[in-house]
Structure 1
């Protein structure tokens, strides 16, 4: 007796017919297509057992239905991109959605190395220094109108130079007599102490700290012999070739302040009128 060999669904004999073996049994071709074939997302028809099926993001397609939404090119063996619900070949995607390099005006392909700045896009190898013409890449750069410079070229071309060491100032610095200086280069002509943020004065266009200026150039108080610099609002009194700090201009006998008062010179001393009358 011949063993039964029927389709698991329609129970028709499979002898002499094509069939597909599934885990739960054999199926004739019509039953297999009806029960197991996927529906093409594009044409909505079943994808039969004898058709090449393409699968992308939970969607199934006939090979001939898997095409670019714009140019209708087959995407079966081509790179493609999904934009929303639309499948696009690389050419159509780049033409419509990719930016163009501001330097060479060619499309910046998806996934390629690029640089974006101020709403513009460059291929990485097209973004070059306007001076040395070398690619800037991931290095720092400085824009100047429509030009872009690597930091060394910008400093060499535009950055101010220190009056003392002649090297470029990249940050900070001080200005003295409308000339730029590094903070560490702007020092007292006498003791070489940094003057940035400190009180200083000048002699013959050379900067000096208060102490050095006082020791070298300031008048000396005839009473205390210390320099009279005038810094900090200090006032002084002069008489003939002698000078006094305000708080040092006192009577040599009674120590009364003589600022704004009459006084009598007595050799190297100055006296108030009362002490002078006692002589």
Structure 2
């Protein structure tokens, strides 16, 4: 990292660290879902095709309702930060992360990212009919790791997940796993690689306390390797233990952005918890 030189007059002014590096910039972001009206989902496939062909007509005429999921949200995330996203159900947290990952379009505003964002959620797709072992390789390859890299880290991934603590489950199809086991394996695969921006959507909520502690330690390691981590969780303790900054979304609006302790204090007053 470069540093700013002292004053040219040789006065010996202190050398300052260069400004932190932004990884994600959200600038006035609006995200709108379009929901078909009461009768829009009925009828034959031909009728559905005709509706698609008429999409250039006004939304009002087509019976489409607009749901404003995120409203005018702006923030800047920096390299090395772990940022919690909190808010009551339906506040827009997961929607915002999907937009940062490029999975949802924005209606207004812009999202800029430095590097490739990776979104990990409890519903992240692994193939249920394949074994955990095969899914480790597929997941690693999908993240851009080479087959050799996956081989090198395979045992570390399995051990981290704890899948085999009570039997040789890694050789069984994913459909035989509990939701907690599957979530632990997803996180372990994603955490095996250093990410520019890693977004975790409730992935730690299904693990036991032992796994959560391992996960929190791994998130701290990811930050050290110049990444940025976003964590969506309804568990305020996980946010406290993991994040140094929190974004509080409520009804799609950014209600507060600041140090973890300050934001959680106000949020807990709001929710009464």
Q: Same fold (TM over 0.5)?
A: no
Give the TM-score taking structure 1 as reference length: 0.17
User: In terms of Rg, which structure is larger?
Assistant: 1
- Structure holding more helix per residue: 2
Larger RCO, structures 1/2 (Cα 8 Å, 6+ apart): 2
Give the TM-score taking structure 2 as reference length: 0.17
